[in-house]
Amino acid sequence: MNYRIEHDSMGEVQVPADKYWGAQTQRSFQNFKIGTEKMPSEIIDAFAILKKGAAMANSRLGKLSNEKADLIGKVCDEILEGKLEGNFPLVVWQTGSGTQSNMNLNEVIANRGNEIAGNKLLHPNDTVNMSQSSNDTYPTALHIACASAIEDKVIPAIDRMIQTCERLEKENEGVIKCGRTHLQDAVPVSFSQEISGWRACLEKSKEYLNASLPSLKELALGGTAVGTGLNAPEGFGEASAQAISELTDKNFVTEENKFHSLSAKDGVVFAHGALKALAGDLMKIANDVRWLASGPRLGLGEIYIPENEPGSSIMPGKVNPTQCEALTMVAVQVMGNDAAIGFASSQGNFELNVFMPVIAYNFLQSAKLLAEGMDSFNANCFTGIRANRDKMQENLNRSLMLVTGLNPYIGYENAAKTAKKAFAENISLREACTELGFMTEEEFDKALQPEKMV
């Protein structure tokens, strides 16, 4: 491999000749051989947005020439277009402030910009990092990436599942089935009502996520090292937030208290809490679907789901609810990520939280898994649900909890005697009730109509 010599404040370093990064990136690359988890691409993209936005702000405030600001913006656009892929090699498990990833972006932008210009116009620290510190850029990139992941990935995936629910509700209006509580038979419910519960879960999760976005759209940029704004011009926080809003078409603002934005990560915890709530709802929906589809002969068997692949290497003809299983595993991972994010957020000692890369990694993994998990489940399972109406009717007719409808006529205790007799003798509620002398057959048939119990 060919190398070139780069230098930083600690001296000279050999850097691969075909890469744009510099000495500080190389030192981190060499010193942190930990794990396989790379800094998320969403963070790299967010850094590119904020570096371009910061250059625009510095230019508007008279700190940076238009030529240099445009050059920085041009390289940031290349990063966002994927043209500089392979130049961001650093792992999550590095300095907790993300300093080395900030410098990775600074070095790549400076070196590539100078190559474009044919002249050394950009310096990683003095130009690309002007008016900034790693301590305010990393939390800014974190918020940009997290807000974008929720708005651009997770919420659209929720909307697609909601649309499926709305269609399934219409298709199954008037289909009456046995309700279940405690995994035991309960009073009747319509299948469309059951589906409406799934839809409401998704709608509520969307509400919670939307409620978390205002905090994520408050940016730390302008706080620099400890929140005082040292070396940043007056108005830089506002100007950079405005520029980032223009670049993303999202309404970002500068956070009023930069001491909070550098040291606390409660907004991210709150937002991930909404992702965890979504994970809980998806766990419920996926479990409902696989219970209802269980069988095909010896389970509930009340719905059909698409058969996507063979389910066993030894049992011929077996088909499993694999999309349900994948989605529930995603939910478990998100719940674990939430614990890690909560612990990491609590470690904002004095003026800086130094657990930010692990917060970013876990949050963005959760958002990505949930969005892709929902889309996979929706496309390969949820949209293909069909009611097994004959089985629903059979189970409904056999349900002992229909007896609840007799309470107003024969009282709770007599209804209980009816249910127990029917169960013990394996006869119908109708037979048990009439044999006990509580009602005539005509009275029973008039009183107990499942379609009127929903």
- Catalytic site residues? 182, 312
Whether 13 contacts 26, CB under 8 Å: yes
**In 10 A of CB 141, how many CB atoms?**
31
Q: Which of 34, 24, 29, 35 shows the shortest CA–CA distance to 105?
A: 24
Whether 296 contacts 338, CB under 8 Å: no
Give exposure, 352-364, as e/b (b: 16+ Cβ within 10 Å). bbbbbbbbbbbbb
Distance between CA 448 and CA 429 in Å, rounded? 10
Whether 328 contacts 303, CB under 8 Å: no
Q: Which of 106, 99, 86 shows the shortest CA–CA distance to 22?
A: 106
Length of the chain: 454
Structure tokens at 198: 């799934």
Distance between CA 301 and CA 291 in Å, rounded? 8
Spacing of C-alpha 361 from chain mean position: 12
Cβ neighbors of 93 (< 8 A, separation 6 or more) are 32, 34, 35, 37, 357, 358
Strand partners, 4: 15
Structure tokens at 380: 């390969």
Whether 51 contacts 72, CB under 8 Å: yes
Structure tokens at 393: 């009717």
Distance between CA 352 and CA 369 in Å, rounded? 29
Whether 175 contacts 169, CB under 8 Å: no
Structure tokens at 176: 């009456």
Q: Which of 290, 445, 359 shows the shortest CA–CA distance to 40?
A: 359
Query: Helices H, strands E: what count in the chain?
Result: 17, 8
**In 10 A of CB 107, how many CB atoms?**
28
| Rg of the chain on CA atoms, in Å | 30
Distance between CA 268 and CA 361 in Å, rounded? 12
Distance between CA 208 and CA 339 in Å, rounded? 19
